[in-house]
């Protein structure tokens, strides 16, 4: 599937009906989603993929379209999952044979009690994680890093994590990579594949501008087979 075709398909995905500010819910545009997935296509095709913080399912559905063997979207907001299921139904009917796609209602960025038991079930399960995590503004400082920590637990050694993070945090993530065994419990390599302009449309009442462009890095992280930093 060509990039423009993928983007055209993904424009059919509906976004949040009532976005929740405490979850920093913003729609991932079809333009950015298509380019993320297209860059990761070689690793997505024929693989097991997790969409962490799957929202309305655009990255999950895009992964199915690009030939993933299995896709699992993990999302804390049940309303978002219901929209994702509606989106999925718009793409595929009973005569199609797409890859299996499950959506799981769970919180995977904390590690307490029963929640950690849920988290551990998925450790080292996936070939690829794709995600557009909250950037960590408002009352969610550090949530973007918590998403990355969890994503690296979800992939097996050799697996890849494709993610978006504000360009202003690039130095922070570079420093974490230099001591990845201490930070993540495994050796991790990472590179910024592209810097993109992420348009945040006016979503909440406190927004004054119709839209705001933010510089965002598109990262590829890989969990290494060996366990020691060089």
Give the pLDDT confidence of 24-63 residue by residue, as tens digits: 778 889 999 999 999 999 999 999 999 999 999 999 999 9
**Other residues' Cβ atoms within 10 Å of the Cβ of residue 41:** 17
pLDDT score of 115: 56
> How does DSSP assign the chain, residue by residue?
--HHHHHHHHTT----SS--GGGT--PPPHHHHHHHHHHHHHHHTTSEEEEET-TTSHHHHHHHHTT-SEEEEEES-HHHHHHHHHHHHHH--TT--PPPEEEEE---S---HHHHHHHHTTTT-EEEEEE------TT-TTHHHHHHHHHHHHEEEEEEEEEEEEGGGHHHHHHHHHTHHHHHSS-EEEEEEEEEEEEEE--STT--SSEEEEEEEEEEEEE-SS----
Q: Tokens for 208, please give them.
A: 């004054």
pLDDT in tens, 170-187: 999 999 999 999 999 899
Position 93 scores a pLDDT of 76
- What pLDDT shows up at residue 37? 98
In terms of pLDDT, which residue wins out, 78 or 200? 78
pLDDT of amino acid 13: 96
Q: What is the pLDDT of residue 198?
A: 83
**Tell me: the pLDDT tens digits for 125-180?**
999 999 999 887 767 778 999 999 999 999 999 999 999 999 999 999 999 999 99
Query: How far is residue 48 from each of residues 63, 74, 88, 101, measured CA to CA in Å?
Result: 10, 13, 18, 10
- Average pLDDT on 84-96 reads 87
The band of 20, judged by pLDDT with boundaries at 50, 70 and 90, is confident
CB within 8 A of 223, min separation 6: which ones? 152, 155, 156, 157, 158, 159, 160, 161, 186, 187, 188
Q: Which residues pair with 164 in a beta bridge?
A: 218
pLDDT at 229 (0 to 100): 54
Q: Which domains does the chain have, with CATH numbers?
A: 25-223 (3.40.50.150)
pTM score: 0.90
pLDDT digits (tens, 9 = 90+) for 52-86: 999 999 999 999 999 999 999 999 999 999 999 99
């Amino acid at each position: 599937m060509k990039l423009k075709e993928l983007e055209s398909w993904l424009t059919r995905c509906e976004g949040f009906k009532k976005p929740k500010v405490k979850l920093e819910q913003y729609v991932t545009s079809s333009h950015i989603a298509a380019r993320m997935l297209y860059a990761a296509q070689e690793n997505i095709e024929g693989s097991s993929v997790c969409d962490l913080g799957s929202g309305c399912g655009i990255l999950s559905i895009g992964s199915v379209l690009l030939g993933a063997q299995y896709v699992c979207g993990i999302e804390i907001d049940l309303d978002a999952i219901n929209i994702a299921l509606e989106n999925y139904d718009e793409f595929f009917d009973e005569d199609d044979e797409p890859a299996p796609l499950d959506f799981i209602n769970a919180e995977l960025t904390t590690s307490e009690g029963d929640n950690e038991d849920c988290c551990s079930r998925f450790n080292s399960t996936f070939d690829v994680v794709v995600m557009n995590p909250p950037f960590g503004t408002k009352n969610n400082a550090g949530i973007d890093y918590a998403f990355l920590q969890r994503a690296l637990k979800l992939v097996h050694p050799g697996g890849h994590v494709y993610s978006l993070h504000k360009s202003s945090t690039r130095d922070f993530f570079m420093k974490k990579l230099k001591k990845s065994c201490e930070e993540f419990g495994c050796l991790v390599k990472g590179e910024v594949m592209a810097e993109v302009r992420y348009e945040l449309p006016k979503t909440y009442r406190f927004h004054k501008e119709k839209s705001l462009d933010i510089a965002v890095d598109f990262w590829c992280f890989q969990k290494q087979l060996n366990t020691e930093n060089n």
